[in-house]
Every structure is written in C-alpha cells, then in structure tokens.
Structure 1
Amino acid sequence: MLATPAMAQDHSAHDHSAHQPAPAPTPMDHTQHTMPMVDKSAPGAAPESAVPARALEGPLHAADAIWGADAMAPSREENRRMHGEMTTGMVLVERLEARIPAEGGEDGWLWDAQAWYGGDIDKFVLKTEGEGEIGGSVEDAEVQALWSHAIGPFFDLQAGARLDIEPETRSHLALGIQGLAPYMFHVDAAAFLSDRGDLTARFKGEYDQKITQSLILQPRVELEASAQDIPERGIGAGLTKIEPGLRLRYEIVREFAPYVGVEYEAKLGETADITRAAGEDPTGWKFLLGVRAWF
C-alpha cells in the first residue's frame, strides 16, 4: 500500500519527544543528613554524662518486655554466677634463686611465693618467703595468711596474720595493699604489728619490661622500715634495708621462666651501725640465678 500525502502528514505530526531518553537524575545532596556537631563547652549545653529521660522508661531489662521477668530471672542469675562470681586459684613462685656475693662470702638461696583462691572481690591469699645459706640452715622464714578484698579495679586490701618461723617464732597482725599502680607497676606494701608490740613495714615494687614476647627485664626494689629498735633481730629504728635489683628472664612457656640478675643490698641507718658492730658489711652486690613459675 502506498503512503498518501495525508498519511505522511499525519505521521510527521506525531510527537517523538516522549521517546527521548529521560534526563539523568540530579545527585542527591547528602550533606543535609550529617549529624550536627554539638559544642559541649557552649553555655547551657548538656554534659556528656546527661541521660535522656526516655532512656529510663520501660523495664529495667529489655528482655522482660518480651519473655517476662519470671522467665528471664533464672537466666540472669546463671549469667551472673558464671561471669561475676567465678572462683579461681593460682600458685606463683615469684622468686626461687641462688644468690652469689660479688665480693666473696657465703652463697645463699631465697624463695618468695604466694597462692590465692577466690573470686574477683574476695579471696584467700597465702604468702611465704625466706632465705638461708646453700648447704646450711634457713636463716629467715615467714608465712602470711590473708583475706584480700578488692577496693578498686586494680588494688586489693589485705588483712590477716603473719608468722615468723625463723630465726625465732613470732606472730604479727598484717595490713596492706597489693595491686597494679599506674604505668603497670606491681606494688605490694604492708605493715606488721608483732605480739611484742614491734611495728614494721615492707614495700615491694617491680615492673615487667618486655624486650620480646618471651624475654622480659624486671627492675625490682624492696624497702623495709621499723618504728623502733628490735635488738634481738639486729634492727634499728627508721629505714632498715633497701634492695634494688634487675632480673632478666626468658619464658620458655608462660608458666616457666628461668632468669639471671644482679641485686644490691644495703642496710641503712641504725641497722647498718648494728651490722658493722657485729663485724659484717652492711652493703654488697649479689649475682642471681633463679626461676619464676606459676600454675
């Protein structure tokens, strides 16, 4: 069929604009959706600790609104028991070492250990330490039985009894703190009141500096003091002794680490005078060879 002029005219009259591709959409401006910055220092601004009133609406536990308080109570109690009241125990042999004087004299040995059992808040702690001559008798030995109560995230208050076994039997009341000071310093400080009225104190501080994951350098210092003279122990009033030292240990496994080290021991004040009067040197260096272990 041939197209007539009228048909051609009608065809040309069609509006082809409807068949043109749609224009690309204009990108959305997302800048309007950003959270406004609030200047907390502006006058009248709510503090960071402010809690919206709606946060305190509804049940104390959201799950109660779905399952009911009676159904959720046993689950919460089990969760608290498993994660908040776990009892744990540990035995730590902090120092078990041979001590060799740098300037001659008798070689000695020393132990310093503690064990505990309990929860995060309260636990029973047993401490013991002492020293003697290699191949000879024990010269000093003591045991402490303590109740330890958490007084913060990093410190425990400890109270109990201390019993000296050598050089003579003597009992003490003990009160102290133990924990982790800022910058990861381990601190153990205590005061002791003996059954004879003698008041003494002891401070221990140490820091573990990791050289590698297994090699650890530990600076350590121990101080002792007495409120009065204790002639039978060769102790004078004031600061009586200081022992700074360095130990370098290698953790074969986390639970077992042999070490070498050096320590300087100095008796101070009146205690040093008593030591000199007895014909002994109140100061001296010692080389150390020992092991640290826990389980």
Structure 2
Amino acid sequence: MRLLSASFAAMIVATPALAQDHSQMDNSAHQMPAAPEAEPEVDHSKMDHGAMGHFRPAVDPVSLPNSTSGPPNAADAVWGAEAMRASREALYRDHGNMQIFWFQGDRLEYRARAGDDGYLWDVQGYYGGDINKFWFKSEGEGSFGEPIEQAEIQALYSRAIAPFFDLQAGVRQDLTGPERTHAVIGIQGLMPYMFEVDAAAFLSSKGDLTARVEAEYDQRITQRLILQPRAEVNLSAQEIPELDIGSGIDNIELGLRLRYEIVPEFAPYVGIEQEWKLGGSRDFARLAGEDPSVTNYVIGMRFWF
C-alpha cells in the first residue's frame, strides 16, 4: 500500500497539466439565475365569481350544521333544490333503488322437553328495494311422531315508513287445524337500543281478531359469540274454542339463546325457552291433558343469505 501511495503522489507532481488555477476560471456561467419578481397577490374574496361562470352558493356552507345534526337535504340550503335535484335522482337511481333478495332462517331447532321432543321453524325473507318490498314468512312447530301442531305462511307488501321501520299488510294462511285465512297488518323494524320488533294483527275469515308481538335483542359477548334474549306474546280479542284459544293473553314465550357465528351467515346455537298458556287458553290445555307450562331445551342453527 505504501509503494502504491508513493507512486501516485509522484504522478501528480510530475504532471503539472493536471493542476488547475481556479482563480482564472470564469464563474459567471455557474451563477444561479435571479429569482423572478413575485406576482401581486390577488384578493379572491373581491372577485365576481358570477361573472366568471362560477356558481355561487345561496348561503355560506360553514354556517350550516354538520351532517349528523343537520336536516335532511341540507345541501338544498347551500346550492338550492333545483341544483341538487339531478344529483339526488342520480344517487337514488345508481345506489338506492337496487332490488335485493334476502332470506333468513331465524330459528331452526330441535326442542328437548318433558314428554315427546319437538321441533320448530321460523323463516322469513324479502325481495325489493329500500322503500317497497315483498315479504314472506313461515313458522310452525310440532312433536316428533305426531302431526304438525301449528304451521302458517304469510305474504306481505311492505312499505318503509321510517328509516328503520316498515308497515306491512297482506294475507296469512294457516296450514294445520281448522284452516283459516287472515288479513294481516303490522310493523317490523329496529327500535332504539337495537331491539328487533315484529308486531301484527290478524283478522280471520271467521271474524276472529288476534295479535302477535315478537321482540329480540342481540348482545355480543365477543366478535363471534352472541347472547339473544327473545320474547313473544300472543293475544286474542275473543275465545276461539276450536283452536283452544281463550280471550286476552293466549300465551307468553321467553327464551335465551347463545349462538356462535362460524361465519356471519351461519351460526349454531343452544338455549332454553319457557312457554306459559294463560287465562282461557290454560283451561283448554288442562282439559286436553296438556301441561300449560312447558320448558324447552333447544339446539339449532340460524342462517341467512
């Protein structure tokens, strides 16, 4: 290394042409160009945007409430209803008027109880858009080895009357016992604190007036584990002996189900449900040799697509 360094130093000394006198160089070619003069600042607040073809809002947008506290169609106050109409119609046409099919098996379960074990199904679904839908519902139950105790199907027209509630009207057909056709009117939706409610009144072809109210709530324990309390009350305006129904409150059902969402669309569950027949319905049950109070231990699945 030392020999190489000495040889390199000798080459520099022996070659004076490589040494440059920087004092004789013309440095003007390397000087930076002068900065351009700054343009005068324009006061945009005094410009006439109308003359320039710009649309001027009716009011200052900053003075309006934010989107979570303002009124519906708040943009009308800024740009005017005429200017916003085309945009609103395009948004509804492209994103708010899609026809959707949805089907859910809410309860498909095996029921272990004193006496003969049983089964239950409760399914529903719809086809339609945000405002108008066709709803269909079916539910029923029975005991293994015996004829189906109760089964029905409903076909309903549904109209949105609030952001989370639909008004429903249509027909219900009973498929067991003395077959009856009912006119149906009811509401279905989501109440504050996320309670799902389905309430309906039924007027049968025999003139019998009955009603049903169902409510349930999903309490998430983890991202996949969900505890669901559920309540159902059936009522009748009169006694219906051929159906073993007394006037007033016919029966009450209170249940608790714990389900595990393997995926959001499929969730097995276990639970317990207690049924009570009350008033005249309790008397009819006793005359038929049935227990008016029944405890069901259930295992089932819930799915949707």
Number of equivalenced pairs: 234
1:86 maps to which of 98, 102, 109? 98
Q: Which residue of 1 aligns with 2:28?
A: none
1:172-251 matched pairs, under 5 angstroms: 172-251=182-261
Greater C-alpha radius of gyration: 2
Which of the residues 60, 73, 97 maps onto 2:82? 60
- C-alpha deviation, 1:215, in angstroms: 0.3
Q: Distance in 1 between matches of 2:302 and 2:281?
A: 31
- What amino acid maps onto 1:60 in structure 2? E
Report the secondary structure of 2:162's partner residue.
coil
Partner of 1:270: 280
Decide whether aligned partners of structure 1 residues 56 and 209 sit closer, same or farther in structure 2, where only a CA change above 3 A counts. closer
TM-score, scaled relative to structure 2:
0.73
Once the two structures are superposed, what CA deviation does each residue of 1:55-107 show, in whole Å capped at 9, x if it has no partner?
Answer: 56778327xxxxxx9xxx5x765432111211111000000001111xx2010
Provide closer, same or farther for how the CA distance between residues 231 and 77 of structure 1 changes in structure 2, counting only shifts above 3 A: same
1:266–1:78 CA distance, 2 compared to 1 (3 A): same
Q: Secondary structure, in 3 states, of the residue corresponding to 1:183?
A: helix
Helix, strand or coil at the partner of 2:105: strand
> CA separation in 2, counterparts of 1:94 and 1:58?
46
Query: What is the correspondence of 1:22-33 to structure 2 with a 5 Å cutoff?
Result: none
Deviation of 1:134 (Å): 2.1
> In the alignment, which residue of structure 2 is the partner of 1:281?
291
Determine the C-alpha separation between the residues in 2 that align with 1:55 and 1:262: 54
Give the aligned partner of residue 17 of structure 1: none
SS of the residue corresponding to residue 175 of structure 2 reads: strand
1:169 aligns with 2:179: yes
Structure 2: gaps spanning 5 or more residues: 1-62, 64-69
Could you list the runs of 5+ residues in structure 1 that have no partner in the other structure?
Answer: 1-37, 39-47, 63-68
* Amino acid paired to 2:83: H
The answer on 1:252 being equivalent to 2:274 is no
Cross-structure match for 1:119: 129
Q: 1:277 to 1:150 in 2, by over 3 A?
A: same
Cα offset for 1:136?
3.2
- Over aligned residues, Cα RMSD in angstroms? 2.3
TM-score by length of 1: 0.75
* Alpha-carbon spacing, 1:228–1:60, altered in 2? closer, same or farther (3 Å): same
User: Which secondary structure state, in structure 2, belongs to the residue aligned with residue 271 of structure 1?
Assistant: helix
